[in-house]
Amino acid sequence: MRSLRDVDVKGKRVLVRVDFNVPMDKKGAIIDDTRIRASLPTIEYLIDQGARVILMSHLGRPKGKVDDAYRMDNVARQLSLLLKKEVKKCDDCIGDEVQAAVARMQPGDVLMLENVRFHPEEEKNDPEFSAQLASLGDIYVNDAFGTAHRAHASTAGVARYLPCAAGFLLEKEVQMLSKVMNSVESPRLAIVGGAKVSDKMALLENLLNRTDVIIIGGGMANTFLKAQGYDIGKSLCEDGLVDFARELLAEAEEKKVKILLPVDVVVADQFSAEAQSREAKVNEIPSDWMILDIGRETARMYKEAIKSARTIVWNGPMGVYEYEKFARGTEEVAFAIADSGAVSVVGGGDSLATIYRLGLEDKMTHISTGGGATLEFLEGKQLPGVVSCEGYH
């Protein structure tokens, strides 16, 4: 990709797409500013280079209409605190007042535009709206990996009108995700969890060509257990994908990719934090109980595989981690990755929630900010917001 470092930005108007879609409480206070902090290196670099920094982002889902609950004012205030510098805020992202505000900017100034999704043209990738946004800048920088899978006006459309480059966050995301997916250092390990196989079909198929070992956990493992002929009781299962699971296992065997599935599980009499629970072998699951976590023997098996891995990518929990009694499997996997010494990349909100709760974020090589973008990248798809950065193939 064309990096921000490859572009002369001194004195230029630099239009930067950031992902400041931060979680907020009902009063509009920011709960977690991680996404804002993630783009600070790009913003601070531009300030130091004497660029005029114009930031655009979405916030929430206002559905193409102005919604006061999703205004960027609090985001701009938080960014001001982090930068220790005034960040001015516009009440729109296009129009005469915005043009005038940009014209008044001095080198090193930072301006936050209003929520781009207040305009329905944003998500439609409307060419005229894209051109209006592009008219604000001399150079376009995309630093919003979290929205890179969306072909919207602010993520892809503006790139048709301006020279473009990748910000440091976007660049790092692509480099790290590419590193684990294209690694030739064996064993290459992928850990895939979560509720549904249907959410991870393309990912699993892509991983068969890029890894040596695939660990499967969470509700999706139940479909694979059923494909192996086990009675899984009342456990979550996608019956329509049992054949897919069976075919994937056969293909993995043919390609000499080891797929590890639970050999014992934690079962419960209901889906509840107060449920009765116990461990059971996968061939001894009561017909009226359900699987909600991996068992101790499975956790040991998974940890042994993690210990020997050279590269690890993890996406998705091993069980219903939201309930303490069913969180152990996910936590043990997290601790094992932290202690592994492997190049590790973690993505997906559930996996990240566990990492942060356990304070293990500094033990991971890279924590991806992408969500859906991370998953699509790992599936092997080209992302519009990444493709828009000149030189990306």
User: How far is C-alpha 372 from the geometric centre of its chain's CA atoms?
Assistant: 6
So which residues are the catalytic ones? 35, 196, 349, 372
Amino acid at 298: T
- For range 317-342, the mean pLDDT: 96
pTM: 0.87
Which residues make up the CATH 3.40.50.1260 domain(s) of the chain?
A: 4-171, 182-378
For residues 13-23, give the mean pLDDT: 96
User: Quick check: 167 and 330 in contact, CB under 8 A?
Assistant: no
Give, in words, the CATH class of 4-171.
alpha beta
Give residue for tokens 């108007």: 13
pLDDT in tens, 338-364: 999 999 999 888 898 899 999 999 999
Q: What is the pLDDT of residue 223?
A: 97
Q: What is the pLDDT of residue 190?
A: 96
Rounded mean pLDDT, 363-387: 90
| Least confident stretch, 112-126, 233-247, 362-376 | 362-376
pLDDT of residue 393: 29
User: Residue 236: CB partners within 8 Å, gap ≥ 6?
Assistant: 195, 196, 219, 222, 290, 291
Q: Determine how many CB atoms are found less than 10 A away from the CB of residue 94.
A: 22
| Calculated CA dihedral for residues 165, 166, 167, 168, nearest 10 degrees | -130
Average pLDDT over residues 181-208: 93
In order of 14, 50, 105, 129, 137, the CA distances from 164 in angstroms are 10, 18, 21, 17, 11
Burial of 138 (C-beta count, 10 Å sphere; 0-12/13-18/19+): middle
Q: For residue 388, what pLDDT is reported?
A: 83
For the residues 162-171, what does the mean pLDDT come to? 96
Q: Tokens for 19? A: 């992902």
**Percent of the chain residues past pLDDT 70, beyond the cut:** 99
Say if residues 19 and 374 touch (Cβ distance below 8 Å).
Answer: no
Say if residues 310 and 188 touch (Cβ distance below 8 Å). yes
pLDDT of residue 392: 37
| Average pLDDT for 219-237 | 96
Q: What per-residue confidence (pLDDT) applies to 184?
A: 84
C-alpha distance from residue 238 to each of 30, 36, 95, 244, 280 (Å): 37, 38, 50, 10, 21
Residue with tokens 């494909």: 227
What's the pLDDT at 390? 59
**Cβ-proximal residues to 331 (8 Å cutoff; 6+ apart), any chain:** 321, 354, 358
Question: Mean pLDDT over residues 37-65, rounded?
Answer: 97
Counting residues of the chain whose pLDDT is more than 90, the rounded percentage is 88
Side chain identity at 240, as an amino acid letter?
A: G
Task: Reply yes or no on whether the pLDDT at 220 is more than 80.
Answer: yes
Sheet of strand 264-268: strand arrangement: 277-281, 264-268, 290-294
Interval 47-59 mean pLDDT: 98
User: Of 305, 369, 368, which is closest to residue 337 (Cα–Cα)?
Assistant: 305
Cα distances from 218 to residues 22, 154, 226, 296, 344, in angstroms, run 27, 36, 14, 14, 20
Read off the tokens for 132.
């209006």
* Dihedral over Cα of 263, 269, 273, 276: its sign: negative
Architecture of domain 182-378: 3-Layer(aba) Sandwich (3.40)
Supply the mean pLDDT for the chain: 94
Q: How far is the first Cα of the chain from the last one, in angstroms, to the nearest whole number?
A: 8
Instruction: Decide: 129 and 160 in contact? Cβ < 8 Å.
Output: no
Order of strands across the sheet with 110-112? 87-89, 110-112, 52-56, 13-17, 139-142, 164-166
Nearest to 141 by CA among 1, 38, 347, 35: 1
Residues 102-121 have a mean pLDDT of: 98
Q: Is the per-residue pLDDT at 255 higher than 50?
A: yes
Q: What is the pLDDT of residue 32?
A: 87
Secondary structure of the chain: what % helix, strand, coil (to 5)?
A: 40, 15, 45
